[in-house]
A and B are shown apart, each in its own frame.
Chain A
Amino acid sequence: MAKLMYRRQIRWHLLNQLAFAALALFGLMFSQHVRAEEPILVTQAWVREAPPNMSAHAAYAVLRNNTNQERNLVSANSSDYKMVELHLSKVTHGIVSMVKQKQITIPSKGMVKMMPAGFHFMLMHPKRALRAGDKIEITLGFADGSKQTFQAPIKKAPAASGKHHHMGH
């Protein structure tokens, strides 16, 4: 009986250790996101799944600048699209316009949150049909000539998660 209890305790002990190992692994996975060598930390990247046969798609991401210098994003491209442009959608006095941006400045120790009805990557002429669950790669080009690549999954739009323009403006 005592032996059985002892065994049970050992089993629990092993399970406990396993749980800790799993947690540690989790932590490691998250820490992978914060790679010190990348001057721009790209998170929350996604491409809005578009209706079939649409030639223009939009991608969004949060670009965080961890360096002491501002960084100027001047281009973007993806092997899955013929052309990628930087755009800003603006709603002024109830009228929406989309303006191509020559550059998007990410301030030092600051960030730019690209989101629906705001800054976005305009992805033109997809080379293959892209559906929710697929992934693309986007390469950012900065004014200093450096480049950085990140992955963005294609997603169905989450409900009302964009720049809020309050009613009655």
Chain B
Amino acid sequence: MNWKEILKGPISLPVALSVLAAAPFVGIALHYFLADSAGTIPTGAEASAIKSRLSTPQKLSKFNLTDDANQPIDINSFTGKWSFVLLGFTHCPDVCPFALSNLAVVHKKMSKTLPSDALPSVLFVSVDPERDQPQVLNQYVQYFNPDFGAATGSTNEIDRFVTQIGGYYKFGPKRGAGAYEVTHSAEIFVIDPSGRVFAKLNPPLNPNQMTLIFKFLVTAYEATSKSSYAKTSSKGAIQGWRS
């Protein structure tokens, strides 16, 4: 059969149409297949986990922040669970929403394989308290994931917290209409259940690798402080930031 016959033959239309209709699905399936098989290669994740770890975990101490439900946040809010902390400000149109929406994807993916009590809490800490009151932060962070929390505080307390986690921020000059930018750390600070900065992850997080990276970090942590983790986790599960 030549090309013309195929086109004119009575079966050409259904065949052609079904091939045409199936093509995008085959493409999508292939894409996911390739993406998933890439995600199962553990070498990358393990290497990333090792790279992200701090040689000496930094213990958090005294600071007082307020979360997006107007509740106080201090060192006790971080013990007994894993937390992912990121710095930012809500007037940041590009990088902060990019990081948070990626974290939402990562979190969703992690929740498929990890029990809810093993999932890290996500806390967005605004370094711009003048514009980011708790209610503003609440609306902001809830948009990305209702389980995500946000916090801010006085300049003094923010400085204390940022110094302790080894972060950085700096206000840019005021521009027209009172607008200003804030330069800040891009990393995700991983706080372990003993309230220490255990690792720093550079965004954007790879959703296919993140569960593995996190598991490597948890294993590394448990190897060094098994008893204390068992004690804290037996107290009960802490799921979202608020619970």
Name A15-69 residues within 8 Å CB distance of B: 15-16, 19, 48, 50-58
Q: A94-B185, A95-B168 are in contact. Are A120 and B94 (CB under 8 A)?
A: yes
* Whole-angstrom distance between the Cβ of A30 and the nearest chain B Cβ: 15
State whether the Cβ of B143 lies closer than 8 Å to any Cβ in chain A. Answer: yes
Instruction: Pick from B7, B90, B95, B175: contact of A89, CB below 8 A.
Output: B95
**Contact indicator B207/A159 (Cβ below 8 Å):** yes
State whether the Cβ of A83 lies closer than 8 Å to any Cβ in chain B. Answer: yes
A15–B175 alpha-carbon span in the complex (Å): 62
Q: What size tier do the contact residues of chain A reach? A: 35 or more
Secondary structure type dominating chain B contacts: helix
Q: A12-B10, A168-B202 are in contact. Are A56 and B93 (CB under 8 A)?
A: yes
A120–B181 alpha-carbon span in the complex (Å): 15
* Whole-angstrom distance between the Cβ of B41 and the nearest chain A Cβ: 15
A168–B206 alpha-carbon span in the complex (Å): 12
Instruction: Give chain A's interface residues, CB within 8 Å of chain B.
Output: 8-9, 12-13, 15-16, 19, 48, 50-58, 82-83, 87, 89, 91, 94-98, 100, 116-117, 120, 122-125, 156-157, 159-160, 162, 164-169
**Contact indicator B94/A19 (Cβ below 8 Å):** no
Chain A residues with CB under 8 A of B101:
156-157, 159
**Contact indicator A48/B143 (Cβ below 8 Å):** no
* Whole-angstrom distance between the Cβ of A11 and the nearest chain B Cβ: 9
Number of A-B contacts (CB under 8 A): 132
The stretch among B11-19, B24-32, B54-62 that forms the contact with chain A is: B11-19
9 A-B residue pairs with CB within 8 Å: A12-B13, A57-B93, A95-B184, A96-B185, A97-B183, A120-B94, A123-B93, A125-B177, A165-B186
A80–B179 alpha-carbon span in the complex (Å): 18
Q: A83-B177, A167-B52 are in contact. Are A98 and B204 (CB under 8 A)?
A: no
Chain A residues with CB under 8 A of B184:
95-96
A166–B205 alpha-carbon span in the complex (Å): 9
**Contact indicator B98/A50 (Cβ below 8 Å):** no
**Contact indicator A16/B92 (Cβ below 8 Å):** no
A152–B17 alpha-carbon span in the complex (Å): 31
**Contact indicator B105/A159 (Cβ below 8 Å):** yes
A54–B168 alpha-carbon span in the complex (Å): 24
State whether the Cβ of B196 lies closer than 8 Å to any Cβ in chain A. Answer: no
**Contact indicator B185/A48 (Cβ below 8 Å):** no
Instruction: Pick from A54, A97, A167, A169: contact of B90, CB below 8 A.
Output: A54
**Contact indicator B98/A162 (Cβ below 8 Å):** yes
* Whole-angstrom distance between the Cβ of B214 and the nearest chain A Cβ: 12
Q: A19-B17, A94-B187 are in contact. Are A168 and B51 (CB under 8 A)?
A: yes
Instruction: Give chain B's interface residues, CB within 8 Å of chain A.
Output: 7-8, 10, 12-13, 16-17, 47-48, 51-52, 90-95, 97-98, 101-102, 105, 136, 139-144, 168, 172, 175-177, 179, 181, 183-187, 200-207, 213
Which residue of chain B is the closest to A88 with respect to CB atoms? B94
Q: A96-B185, A97-B181 are in contact. Are A54 and B201 (CB under 8 A)?
A: no
**Contact indicator A116/B94 (Cβ below 8 Å):** yes
A19–B8 alpha-carbon span in the complex (Å): 12
**Contact indicator A96/B204 (Cβ below 8 Å):** no
A123–B141 alpha-carbon span in the complex (Å): 20
Chain B residues with CB under 8 A of A169:
202
A157–B205 alpha-carbon span in the complex (Å): 15
Which residue of chain A is the closest to B51 with respect to CB atoms? A168
A57–B7 alpha-carbon span in the complex (Å): 50
**Contact indicator B204/A165 (Cβ below 8 Å):** yes
Chain B residues with CB under 8 A of A124:
177, 179
User: Ordered nearest first, which 7 A-B pairs have the shortest CB separation?
Assistant: A168-B51, A51-B143, A56-B93, A96-B186, A58-B93, A157-B101, A116-B98
